[in-house]
Amino acid sequence: MDSSDQSMNELERSGAKSFFETAPPLKNSDLISDKLKEFVRRNSESATPRSIVCVTSGGTTVPLEQRCVRYIDNFSSGYRGAASTEYFVKVGYAVIFVHRRGSYQPYCRYLPEDSFLDFVQLDEESNIQVPEDRAAMVKKSIREYHKAVGEGLLLKLPFTTIFEYLQILQLVATSINCFGCHSMFYLAAAVSDFYVPWESMAEHKIQSASGPLDMRLNQVPKMLSVLRKEWAPAAFCVSFKLETDPDILIQKADAALKRYGMNVVAANLLANYKEEVVVVTSNGKTIVRRNSKDDDLEEQLVALLSKTHSEYIQLVAL
Protein backbone atom coordinates (compact mmCIF):
# COMPACT_ATOMS: atom_id res chain seq x y z
CA MET A 1 0.00 0.00 0.00
CA ASP A 2 1.50 3.38 -0.96
CA SER A 3 1.21 6.58 1.06
CA SER A 4 -1.64 7.98 -1.07
CA ASP A 5 -3.68 4.79 -0.37
CA GLN A 6 -2.91 5.16 3.32
CA SER A 7 -4.02 8.80 3.47
CA MET A 8 -7.19 7.93 1.48
CA ASN A 9 -8.01 5.18 3.98
CA GLU A 10 -7.38 7.58 6.83
CA LEU A 11 -9.76 10.08 5.22
CA GLU A 12 -12.48 7.44 4.83
CA ARG A 13 -11.99 6.23 8.40
CA SER A 14 -12.24 9.74 9.86
CA GLY A 15 -15.20 10.55 7.57
CA ALA A 16 -17.01 7.44 8.82
CA LYS A 17 -16.20 8.29 12.45
CA SER A 18 -17.63 11.80 12.22
CA PHE A 19 -20.69 10.53 10.26
CA PHE A 20 -21.57 8.14 13.10
CA GLU A 21 -20.78 10.64 15.86
CA THR A 22 -23.19 13.20 14.40
CA ALA A 23 -25.94 10.83 13.16
CA PRO A 24 -29.21 10.68 15.15
CA PRO A 25 -29.07 7.56 17.38
CA LEU A 26 -30.62 4.45 15.85
CA LYS A 27 -34.03 3.74 17.37
CA ASN A 28 -34.42 0.16 18.65
CA SER A 29 -30.68 -0.49 18.37
CA ASP A 30 -30.83 -2.83 21.44
CA LEU A 31 -33.68 -4.80 19.87
CA ILE A 32 -31.79 -5.07 16.54
CA SER A 33 -28.64 -6.23 18.37
CA ASP A 34 -30.64 -8.87 20.28
CA LYS A 35 -32.23 -10.16 17.05
CA LEU A 36 -28.80 -10.35 15.41
CA LYS A 37 -27.28 -12.15 18.39
CA GLU A 38 -30.05 -14.76 18.35
CA PHE A 39 -29.84 -15.21 14.55
CA VAL A 40 -26.05 -15.65 14.70
CA ARG A 41 -26.32 -18.07 17.66
CA ARG A 42 -28.91 -20.18 15.86
CA ASN A 43 -26.95 -20.38 12.62
CA SER A 44 -23.52 -20.91 14.12
CA GLU A 45 -24.82 -23.81 16.25
CA SER A 46 -26.64 -25.51 13.38
CA ALA A 47 -25.70 -29.15 12.70
CA THR A 48 -24.62 -28.36 9.13
CA PRO A 49 -22.13 -25.44 8.98
CA ARG A 50 -23.88 -22.60 7.23
CA SER A 51 -22.73 -19.52 5.38
CA ILE A 52 -24.42 -16.23 6.10
CA VAL A 53 -25.14 -13.34 3.75
CA CYS A 54 -26.23 -9.78 4.43
CA VAL A 55 -28.37 -8.63 1.48
CA THR A 56 -29.02 -4.87 1.36
CA SER A 57 -31.98 -3.74 -0.71
CA GLY A 58 -33.90 -0.60 -1.71
CA GLY A 59 -32.88 3.05 -1.65
CA THR A 60 -31.82 5.16 1.31
CA THR A 61 -33.43 8.57 1.91
CA VAL A 62 -31.79 11.82 2.91
CA PRO A 63 -34.07 13.89 5.18
CA LEU A 64 -34.06 17.65 4.64
CA GLU A 65 -35.69 18.47 7.98
CA GLN A 66 -35.23 16.81 11.40
CA ARG A 67 -39.03 16.60 11.74
CA CYS A 68 -39.01 15.26 8.24
CA VAL A 69 -41.61 16.40 5.72
CA ARG A 70 -39.30 16.34 2.70
CA TYR A 71 -36.50 14.05 1.69
CA ILE A 72 -34.27 13.09 -1.26
CA ASP A 73 -34.70 9.50 -2.40
CA ASN A 74 -32.54 7.01 -4.28
CA PHE A 75 -33.69 4.83 -7.16
CA SER A 76 -34.31 1.19 -6.19
CA SER A 77 -37.51 -0.86 -5.96
CA GLY A 78 -35.82 -3.57 -3.88
CA TYR A 79 -36.75 -6.27 -6.41
CA ARG A 80 -33.12 -7.40 -6.89
CA GLY A 81 -32.51 -7.73 -3.15
CA ALA A 82 -35.82 -9.51 -2.48
CA ALA A 83 -35.36 -11.98 -5.36
CA SER A 84 -31.71 -12.62 -4.44
CA THR A 85 -32.72 -13.32 -0.82
CA GLU A 86 -35.03 -16.12 -1.98
CA TYR A 87 -32.27 -17.67 -4.12
CA PHE A 88 -29.65 -17.39 -1.34
CA VAL A 89 -31.98 -19.23 1.05
CA LYS A 90 -32.59 -21.85 -1.64
CA VAL A 91 -28.85 -22.58 -2.01
CA GLY A 92 -28.43 -22.89 1.77
CA TYR A 93 -27.45 -19.46 3.11
CA ALA A 94 -28.86 -17.79 6.21
CA VAL A 95 -29.90 -14.31 5.04
CA ILE A 96 -30.05 -10.99 6.87
CA PHE A 97 -32.27 -8.88 4.62
CA VAL A 98 -31.57 -5.18 5.32
CA HIS A 99 -34.29 -3.45 3.35
CA ARG A 100 -36.01 -0.14 2.76
CA ARG A 101 -39.42 -0.01 4.47
CA GLY A 102 -42.16 -0.47 1.86
CA SER A 103 -39.88 -1.96 -0.82
CA TYR A 104 -40.23 -5.42 -2.43
CA GLN A 105 -40.09 -8.31 0.03
CA PRO A 106 -38.91 -11.89 -0.45
CA TYR A 107 -41.65 -14.44 -1.24
CA CYS A 108 -44.24 -11.77 -2.16
CA ARG A 109 -42.57 -9.89 -4.98
CA TYR A 110 -45.81 -10.03 -6.96
CA LEU A 111 -47.78 -8.09 -4.33
CA PRO A 112 -46.85 -4.37 -4.60
CA GLU A 113 -48.07 -3.96 -8.17
CA ASP A 114 -51.20 -5.93 -7.48
CA SER A 115 -53.23 -4.35 -4.73
CA PHE A 116 -54.47 -6.73 -2.05
CA LEU A 117 -58.08 -5.83 -2.85
CA ASP A 118 -57.63 -6.83 -6.50
CA PHE A 119 -55.73 -9.90 -5.52
CA VAL A 120 -58.28 -11.68 -3.30
CA GLN A 121 -62.01 -12.24 -3.80
CA LEU A 122 -65.01 -13.02 -1.62
CA ASP A 123 -67.05 -16.14 -2.36
CA GLU A 124 -70.83 -16.42 -1.89
CA GLU A 125 -70.40 -17.09 1.86
CA SER A 126 -68.08 -14.09 2.20
CA ASN A 127 -64.98 -16.28 2.65
CA ILE A 128 -61.74 -14.81 1.33
CA GLN A 129 -60.46 -16.66 -1.73
CA VAL A 130 -57.42 -16.39 -3.98
CA PRO A 131 -58.34 -16.78 -7.67
CA GLU A 132 -57.46 -20.24 -8.93
CA ASP A 133 -54.78 -19.10 -11.38
CA ARG A 134 -52.85 -17.51 -8.51
CA ALA A 135 -53.50 -20.03 -5.75
CA ALA A 136 -50.54 -22.28 -6.51
CA MET A 137 -48.10 -19.34 -6.45
CA VAL A 138 -49.53 -17.99 -3.17
CA LYS A 139 -49.39 -21.41 -1.49
CA LYS A 140 -45.78 -21.92 -2.61
CA SER A 141 -44.79 -18.48 -1.33
CA ILE A 142 -46.47 -18.97 2.06
CA ARG A 143 -44.81 -22.37 2.45
CA GLU A 144 -41.33 -21.12 1.48
CA TYR A 145 -41.55 -17.96 3.61
CA HIS A 146 -42.63 -19.84 6.76
CA LYS A 147 -39.98 -22.51 6.14
CA ALA A 148 -37.22 -19.88 5.83
CA VAL A 149 -38.31 -18.02 8.98
CA GLY A 150 -39.09 -21.23 10.93
CA GLU A 151 -35.67 -22.71 10.17
CA GLY A 152 -33.99 -19.46 11.24
CA LEU A 153 -32.72 -18.70 7.72
CA LEU A 154 -34.25 -15.24 7.29
CA LEU A 155 -33.96 -12.12 9.44
CA LYS A 156 -35.52 -8.90 8.11
CA LEU A 157 -34.24 -5.50 9.30
CA PRO A 158 -35.87 -2.34 7.86
CA PHE A 159 -34.35 1.12 7.27
CA THR A 160 -35.53 4.36 5.71
CA THR A 161 -32.80 6.99 6.03
CA ILE A 162 -29.10 6.89 5.18
CA PHE A 163 -28.42 7.29 8.94
CA GLU A 164 -30.39 4.13 9.78
CA TYR A 165 -28.94 2.16 6.87
CA LEU A 166 -25.28 2.75 7.73
CA GLN A 167 -25.79 2.18 11.47
CA ILE A 168 -27.61 -1.10 10.79
CA LEU A 169 -24.94 -2.18 8.29
CA GLN A 170 -22.28 -1.60 10.95
CA LEU A 171 -24.27 -3.60 13.55
CA VAL A 172 -24.76 -6.49 11.11
CA ALA A 173 -21.12 -6.48 10.01
CA THR A 174 -19.72 -6.58 13.53
CA SER A 175 -22.29 -9.23 14.57
CA ILE A 176 -21.47 -11.68 11.76
CA ASN A 177 -17.71 -11.11 11.83
CA CYS A 178 -17.42 -14.43 13.74
CA PHE A 179 -18.41 -16.25 10.49
CA GLY A 180 -15.14 -15.00 8.94
CA CYS A 181 -14.79 -16.09 5.31
CA HIS A 182 -18.17 -17.88 5.56
CA SER A 183 -19.92 -14.49 5.58
CA MET A 184 -20.91 -12.53 2.50
CA PHE A 185 -22.10 -8.96 1.90
CA TYR A 186 -24.31 -8.45 -1.15
CA LEU A 187 -24.76 -4.69 -1.28
CA ALA A 188 -27.60 -4.14 -3.75
CA ALA A 189 -29.11 -1.16 -1.90
CA ALA A 190 -28.91 2.19 -3.65
CA VAL A 191 -27.03 4.29 -1.13
CA SER A 192 -27.12 8.11 -1.01
CA ASP A 193 -23.90 9.87 -1.95
CA PHE A 194 -24.88 13.26 -0.50
CA TYR A 195 -26.65 14.20 2.73
CA VAL A 196 -27.47 17.00 5.14
CA PRO A 197 -25.61 16.50 8.45
CA TRP A 198 -28.07 16.22 11.32
CA GLU A 199 -26.68 19.20 13.28
CA SER A 200 -26.99 21.57 10.30
CA MET A 201 -30.47 20.35 9.32
CA ALA A 202 -33.53 22.58 9.86
CA GLU A 203 -35.61 21.27 12.76
CA HIS A 204 -39.02 22.28 11.36
CA LYS A 205 -40.57 22.20 7.91
CA ILE A 206 -38.65 24.53 5.57
CA GLN A 207 -40.94 27.43 4.64
CA SER A 208 -41.55 28.12 0.96
CA ALA A 209 -42.47 31.76 1.73
CA SER A 210 -38.73 32.43 2.21
CA GLY A 211 -38.14 32.01 -1.54
CA PRO A 212 -35.87 29.60 -3.48
CA LEU A 213 -34.01 27.04 -1.42
CA ASP A 214 -30.21 27.01 -1.41
CA MET A 215 -28.85 23.91 0.22
CA ARG A 216 -25.34 22.48 0.51
CA LEU A 217 -25.10 18.70 0.72
CA ASN A 218 -22.09 16.97 2.29
CA GLN A 219 -20.62 13.81 0.83
CA VAL A 220 -21.63 10.56 2.54
CA PRO A 221 -18.36 8.76 3.38
CA LYS A 222 -17.96 5.58 1.32
CA MET A 223 -18.33 2.79 3.85
CA LEU A 224 -17.07 0.01 1.57
CA SER A 225 -13.44 0.30 2.63
CA VAL A 226 -14.40 0.66 6.32
CA LEU A 227 -16.53 -2.48 5.95
CA ARG A 228 -13.70 -4.35 4.27
CA LYS A 229 -10.89 -3.17 6.55
CA GLU A 230 -12.51 -2.78 9.96
CA TRP A 231 -15.97 -4.26 10.36
CA ALA A 232 -15.67 -7.57 8.49
CA PRO A 233 -12.13 -8.07 7.16
CA ALA A 234 -12.53 -11.76 6.23
CA ALA A 235 -15.97 -11.49 4.59
CA PHE A 236 -16.63 -12.07 0.89
CA CYS A 237 -17.82 -8.67 -0.35
CA VAL A 238 -20.00 -8.04 -3.39
CA SER A 239 -20.84 -4.41 -4.15
CA PHE A 240 -22.99 -3.15 -7.01
CA LYS A 241 -22.12 -0.36 -9.39
CA LEU A 242 -25.00 1.46 -11.06
CA GLU A 243 -24.32 3.89 -13.90
CA THR A 244 -26.30 5.47 -16.72
CA ASP A 245 -23.33 5.95 -19.10
CA PRO A 246 -22.19 2.62 -20.68
CA ASP A 247 -18.79 4.14 -21.51
CA ILE A 248 -17.74 4.44 -17.87
CA LEU A 249 -19.46 1.44 -16.23
CA ILE A 250 -16.70 -1.18 -16.41
CA GLN A 251 -13.95 1.30 -15.69
CA LYS A 252 -15.83 2.42 -12.53
CA ALA A 253 -16.44 -1.21 -11.48
CA ASP A 254 -12.73 -2.05 -11.92
CA ALA A 255 -11.82 1.00 -9.85
CA ALA A 256 -14.25 0.00 -7.04
CA LEU A 257 -12.83 -3.54 -7.02
CA LYS A 258 -9.32 -2.22 -6.39
CA ARG A 259 -10.04 0.84 -4.31
CA TYR A 260 -12.38 -0.83 -1.80
CA GLY A 261 -10.88 -4.33 -1.87
CA MET A 262 -14.16 -5.92 -3.01
CA ASN A 263 -14.16 -9.59 -4.10
CA VAL A 264 -16.81 -8.88 -6.74
CA VAL A 265 -18.37 -5.79 -8.25
CA ALA A 266 -21.67 -6.42 -10.04
CA ALA A 267 -21.90 -3.70 -12.66
CA ASN A 268 -25.25 -2.69 -14.16
CA LEU A 269 -26.77 0.06 -16.27
CA LEU A 270 -30.03 1.76 -15.39
CA ALA A 271 -31.29 1.13 -18.94
CA ASN A 272 -31.06 -2.68 -18.76
CA TYR A 273 -30.23 -3.73 -15.19
CA LYS A 274 -33.05 -6.29 -15.17
CA GLU A 275 -31.60 -7.97 -18.28
CA GLU A 276 -27.85 -7.89 -17.73
CA VAL A 277 -25.23 -7.63 -14.97
CA VAL A 278 -21.46 -7.81 -15.54
CA VAL A 279 -19.73 -9.67 -12.72
CA VAL A 280 -16.28 -8.16 -12.32
CA THR A 281 -13.56 -9.93 -10.29
CA SER A 282 -9.76 -9.80 -10.31
CA ASN A 283 -9.89 -12.91 -12.57
CA GLY A 284 -11.99 -11.30 -15.28
CA LYS A 285 -15.55 -10.47 -16.26
CA THR A 286 -18.65 -12.65 -16.67
CA ILE A 287 -21.84 -11.38 -18.23
CA VAL A 288 -25.01 -12.68 -16.55
CA ARG A 289 -28.09 -12.34 -18.77
CA ARG A 290 -31.72 -13.13 -18.04
CA ASN A 291 -32.86 -16.01 -20.26
CA SER A 292 -36.47 -14.94 -20.66
CA LYS A 293 -39.10 -12.55 -19.28
CA ASP A 294 -40.29 -15.31 -16.91
CA ASP A 295 -36.83 -15.84 -15.38
CA ASP A 296 -35.07 -13.89 -12.68
CA LEU A 297 -31.54 -12.86 -13.57
CA GLU A 298 -30.90 -13.05 -9.80
CA GLU A 299 -31.12 -16.88 -9.87
CA GLN A 300 -28.06 -17.13 -12.12
CA LEU A 301 -26.30 -14.30 -10.32
CA VAL A 302 -26.70 -15.96 -6.91
CA ALA A 303 -25.59 -19.35 -8.32
CA LEU A 304 -22.41 -17.76 -9.72
CA LEU A 305 -21.69 -15.81 -6.52
CA SER A 306 -22.22 -18.76 -4.19
CA LYS A 307 -19.80 -20.80 -6.35
CA THR A 308 -17.21 -17.98 -6.30
CA HIS A 309 -17.73 -17.65 -2.53
CA SER A 310 -17.09 -21.42 -2.03
CA GLU A 311 -13.85 -21.11 -4.00
CA TYR A 312 -12.86 -18.16 -1.81
CA ILE A 313 -13.57 -20.20 1.36
CA GLN A 314 -11.39 -23.05 0.04
CA LEU A 315 -8.59 -20.63 -0.81
CA VAL A 316 -8.69 -19.04 2.67
CA ALA A 317 -8.61 -22.53 4.27
CA LEU A 318 -5.37 -23.52 2.45
**Where on the chain is the footprint of ligand PMT (CB under 6 A)?**
76-80, 187-191, 193, 220, 222-224, 239-242, 268, 273
Shortest distance, CB of residue 185 to ligand PMT, whole angstroms?
Answer: 9
User: In the bound complex, what is the minimum distance in angstroms from residue 12's beta carbon to ligand PMT?
Assistant: 10
Identity of the residue, 78 or 106, whose beta carbon is nearer to ligand PMT in the bound complex: 78
Identify which of residues 52 and 237 has a Cβ nearer to ligand PMT in the complex: 237
Shortest Cβ 285–ligand PMT spacing (Å)? 16
Nearer to ligand PMT, 26 or 188 (CB): 188
- The answer to whether 242 and 273 have CB atoms below 8 angstroms apart is yes
Q: Which is nearer to ligand PMT, 43 or 106 (CB)?
A: 106
Please report how close the Cβ of residue 186 comes to ligand PMT at its closest, in angstroms. 9
Q: Strands 121-122, 128-129: parallel, antiparallel or unpaired by DSSP? A: antiparallel
b/e map 258-275, b = 16+ CB within 10 Å: eebebbbbbbbbeeebee
Nearer residue to ligand PMT within complex by CB, 155 or 220: 220
Q: What is the dihedral of CA 133, 134, 135, 137, to 10 degrees?
A: 120
Q: Are 159 and 37 in contact (CB under 8 A)?
A: no
Closer by beta carbon to ligand PMT, 152 or else 276: 276
**Residue 253 beta carbon to ligand PMT: minimum distance, rounded to whole angstroms:** 9
Rounded to a whole number of angstroms, the minimum distance from the CB of residue 62 to ligand PMT is 11
We find the least distance from the C-beta atom of residue 40 to ligand PMT, in angstroms, to be: 22
Distance from the first to the final alpha carbon of the chain: 24
In this complex, which beta carbon is closest to ligand PMT, that of residue 43 or of residue 63? 63
